[in-house]
Structure 1
């Protein structure tokens, strides 16, 4: 084959992936507008636009800018961050079951939140219906973040010093998840009723609880992580062909693996510590995108960012409108979506590399 015959084939190969990314971008914008419009007070497109630019009825502006926009943006950032972390973990561990949830990071964050609520006394209830609230959310966030780093640290130590196999890392994550889940149950067993209610409230993943400050911090960390992974997309693609092949192409496999795992874990820990546990997004999205455009990390990474944002945003919109006026935590809906796929992967043991 000559360059004249290969080039058109390659251009079509890349073109299909770029079209998918463009469609995903348009779908994200459309889903965001729909999410802002949907709610107890329905808005049309012109009202949404007027609210976004601060023009028109003050009530509409308050609903759009003060209530719905922060939640929509938090869902976009959280979905994007969890998805790119999932892609990176699956590549680094060379295991299709790699994700923040299966590595015990989410469970460690939940224990950290429970630890702060019980031992620092920040959980309480309010109102006639005894709605659980957290008096100092930043104490809970810092504790959740710190304990999630414990799980991350164990995985990183195994990667760096023991050269553990991908299967060993996944089994270690399962063991860590079980350990922190048992620790969480122990804390709940000795906690007071008010504290148990606050713990359960936190563990329900909910992007609606994020403030503008939380959103800013999540955005910065997620953006930096995304830039790093996309910039190194070619190197991660080379790693898909095997460590020896990647080394022959000049890739520092060990350092790339350690840095990738660390950054993915930090992005995950940051997001979970602010919005609670949102399971399976980091597991589901990479497989959806990989099935459509293949395993080239140069396109898989940005594609997963967009699809993850769309998936979590759509899930959050459904969760807060389908049983109106009852608002479901989005973490429940994503678990319903992710659990069947997880079981499918375990049963079929489908290989992606």
Structure 2
């Protein structure tokens, strides 16, 4: 018995489709995941087993092999849980697998069967649309984020039981025998015009403040320096004694910059989605210019990105915005030297044993420092 589902992962800040193949054969009860999975993916076996059983379905007591293709690319994270569960149910005849042939499945499963949000949903759904998929099933908490991409139907689900058994309103059931017509497996939201073609309807930001340069009294030379720097996206360094307003002025620099246009807003929102920072009340595209002000103890990896599997750093999070280094001489020399390439090339390339990843890093560098004694 064989079933094939589609899920996705993130490489850098771009999505990549992953085929989840499930084969069930006679033999000793055993579940094996192949295709270079990381520990989080291997542990999904226990999460999927508990979720299926607690959802009122049967976990097959046979030999189960799960293949994540392409097999030569490392897979990480818990976003494959939903696709693995659907593949097992489809291969065992408890799910109409053919109805999910052109559907993207993303979500982490809890032991109770609840479907939890995962980072990187936006670039995953964007890749699915580019590959011609017609539907994406995502955690209910990620529906607003996924709906920013037009041309693909979004189905938000909150639990495996509701999705399979069709216990909520809207959408279509994918359950096998026993599911009546008109039942639902989740809450469907068509993206309509909220994607690339309707960016003006969504709003969001990374500053979350009401800073305004008009609040600053005096500081005419400093204000003029800010205006000139903002007009040409020039880098800026304030030098002066403590308490003269250097940090205050720099924090108001993004208010002089124009709002992000459609392409820029989508790129910045994808970066924050991959970093897991699209949470809480953030429902739409980030429209304000990012402003990042890392502490002077930040490492080179924290500034430009890094890790065994490279993740975006502060320079990438400041893409199309401002990277502010307060008390610049206090930053480690290695961290400052690491900014040389992104300042010249406007992108960062990080090579590791597991692969090479490129991150966008077109930012405006602003700094402040005290004069030498």
User: Which TM bucket (shorter chain)?
Assistant: under 0.3
Structure with bigger RCO (C-alpha 8 Å, 6+ apart): 1
Which structure is higher in helix share?
1
With the length of structure 1 as denominator, give the TM-score of the two structures.
Answer: 0.23
Provide the TM-score with structure 2 as the length reference: 0.22
